[in-house]
């Protein structure tokens, strides 16, 4: 999703202790785009094609939630994406 939004993923930073998350991406030097409704709709359709997911209210709501908070996240000094640990 991040690359579809124009975010260039920085190198993965491994977290030192085992747990729920194994690594993070620090994208603090980049900003999430703030999409107009028609741009959001086009993004959502592209996201469905790229991810292979099916459209439903949960999927739409999750992507909408992400977009809704973009401006607030952009105002933060640091921005990270955590990567979950894979099951053993």
pTM metric for this prediction: 0.74
Mean pLDDT of the chain: 91
The sign of the torsion formed by the CA atoms of 56, 27, 33, 74 equals positive
Nearest residue to 25 (alpha-carbon basis) of 2, 44, 4, 43: 2
pLDDT band at 78 (very low <50, low <70, confident <90, very high): very high
Beta strands at 13-14 and 21-26: parallel, antiparallel or unpaired: antiparallel
Q: Quick check: 88 pLDDT over 80?
A: no
Residue with the two structure tokens 């607030």: 72
* Residues above pLDDT 70, as percent of the chain: 99
> Are 13 and 64 a contacting pair, CB within 8 Å?
no
Q: What was the pLDDT predicted at 82?
A: 93
Q: What was the pLDDT predicted at 86?
A: 83
């Amino acid at each position: 999703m991040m690359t579809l939004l124009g975010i260039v993923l920085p190198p993965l930073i491994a977290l030192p202790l085992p747990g729920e998350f194994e690594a993070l991406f620090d994208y603090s030097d980049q900003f999430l785009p703030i999409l107009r409704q028609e741009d959001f709709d086009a993004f959502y359709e592209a996201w469905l094609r790229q991810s292979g997911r099916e459209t439903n209210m949960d999927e739409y709501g999750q992507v909408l939630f992400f977009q809704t908070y973009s401006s607030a996240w952009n105002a933060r000094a640091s921005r990270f994406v955590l990567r979950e640990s894979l099951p053993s």
